[in-house]
């Protein structure tokens, strides 16, 4: 899969006095799009957490190109931008009616319930597009 598109309508509560979406809300939209992409790939965050795998955000970027305004529909194209057995990176392209609004990325590490770095369980490899033969075996 190249990318997945999520549509979000800008709510009034997400805007400032001028009707422009607050810069911090873009990260919330990226999270919504990321969770939706994971479901399309075949797993849910909640299920991974039940399996003892956490994916905290360790790095974020967002470069703003233009404003999203109240009642705009923001299209967020999300894709896996890099993945290995220890971490995953997602990229995001946000637009309104084809007009670029922002680009961003988030990087996540895989942790166990004790909050220690761990390898992604092999059963998730195909869902993330990883080759089982190319990755080291998990002990």
Classify strands 57-64 and 4-9 as parallel, antiparallel or unpaired: unpaired
Give, as one character, the DSSP assignment of residue 86: S
Please confirm, yes or no, whether 47 is among the known catalytic residues.
no
Query: In 10 A of CB 59, how many CB atoms?
Result: 11
Read off the tokens for 134. Answer: 């190319």
Rounded to whole angstroms, how far apart are CA atoms 45 and 67?
A: 30
Marked catalytic residue, from 16, 47, 51, 71: 16
How many H-runs (helices) and E-runs (strands) does the chain carry? Answer: 3, 5
Annotated catalytic residues are 16
């Amino acid at each position: 899969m190249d990318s997945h598109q999520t549509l979000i309508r800008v709510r009034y509560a997400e805007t400032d006095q001028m009707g422009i979406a607050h810069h911090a809300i873009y990260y919330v939209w990226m999270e919504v799009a990321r969770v939706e992409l994971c479901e399309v790939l075949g797993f849910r965050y909640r299920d991974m957490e039940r399996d003892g795998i956490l994916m905290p955000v360790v790095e974020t970027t967002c470069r703003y190109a233009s404003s999203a305004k109240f009642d705009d529909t923001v299209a967020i194209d999300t894709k896996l931008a890099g993945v290995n057995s220890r971490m995953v990176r997602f990229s995001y392209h946000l637009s309104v009616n084809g007009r670029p609004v922002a680009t961003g990325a988030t990087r996540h590490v895989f942790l166990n319930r004790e909050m220690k770095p761990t390898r992604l369980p092999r059963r998730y490899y195909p869902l993330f597009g990883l080759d089982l033969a190319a990755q080291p075996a998990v002990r």
